[in-house]
Structure 1
């Protein structure tokens, strides 16, 4: 069985790997406007940062959390902000005594839901994976290749380290 920490470590790995890949591409790739799901790769990372922040607050028991959108102007800024947020999330996850604890919350659309901390964390990881796919598609649209971000590649990298 995969622990919450292992599962979340995969999310951190995927985010870090993608930001590292972006830092190796021309600087304008991050902010270039294109016709896609999001107008820029920057907008994707700002969205994921916001949603990760909301889920952390929900896991912590806030029913209707508010998070101010961060402007992540550069890949370096995004990397720093995700490092801080992911450390906060990992600290929380590591100290959760009962991941099956149910939390009540409202979605951004005002829908009332009740889910376990574990289910919320899986949602965070799945959401991040989904948007890593968006960014990879946006890379290709601009003429650059992406990197594999599948869980199996994460596991392989762990074996080799």
Structure 2
């Protein structure tokens, strides 16, 4: 995978996170915290899992200048909904910044890290980075399904809709 494609996927991660957070800002606290059968029980728990996974585990693994914080995958690291949504949106931009500074030679190499269970792993760098974004897509899909089942409307989060929006923005600017 090349840097341009990874950057597009990182931009998609920002776009989808912002759209989802806008939709979630309309959801009642009761519905956010209710057990809707997700692997992390609630929408709120799943949002915290996204924050933990992307920004407490994976970002530090790729950005070796940042030390990973020891937390569990199901940790509630942010209890305030508005602050949780803000952190998800703000931190999603870190990935594009990271890719803007990356040594492209790393993309053809491997990433070595220690799992939360203490196991040493070495995996293909680009594929593992792609996993981070795919992981977010997976859980955003779970959250939108839960929102729909609770009677809320959901944004369209398919990548193609971001590409269409970008195309329209380019046409407006010309």
Q: Which stretch shifts more, 30-39 or 118-127? A: 30-39
How many residue pairs get aligned? The number is 160
Deviation at 1:70, TM superposition (A): 5.3
Gap regions ≥5 residues in structure 1: none
Confirm or deny: 8 A CA contact 1:52 1:124 kept in the other structure: yes
Measure the CA separation in 1 of the matches of 2:80 and 2:24: 10
Deviations 1:69-121 (A, max 9, x none): 55333442122212332233322221001222322112223343223432222
More helix by share: 2
Measure the CA separation in 2 of the matches of 1:93 and 1:125: 13
- Match of residue 73 from structure 1: 79
- Match of residue 117 from structure 1: 125
CA RMSD of aligned residues (A): 2.4
TM-score, with length taken from structure 1: 0.84
Gap regions ≥5 residues in structure 2: 170-174
- Which of 87, 95, 103 is the matching residue for 2:93? 87
Confirm or deny: 8 A CA contact 1:61 1:103 kept in the other structure: no
Q: Which protein is bigger by CA-based radius of gyration?
A: 2
Flag as ranges the 4+ runs of structure 1 deviating above 6 A: none
Measure the CA separation in 1 of the matches of 2:64 and 2:45: 27
SS in 2 for 1:24: coil
Structure 1 position 107 matched with structure 2 position 115: yes
Deviations 1:13-57 (A, max 9, x none): 111110111112334332233333322111001101111021111
Q: 1:131 to 1:152 in 2, by over 3 A?
A: same
Confirm or deny: 8 A CA contact 1:8 1:90 kept in the other structure: yes
Q: 1:150 to 1:111 in 2, by over 3 A?
A: farther
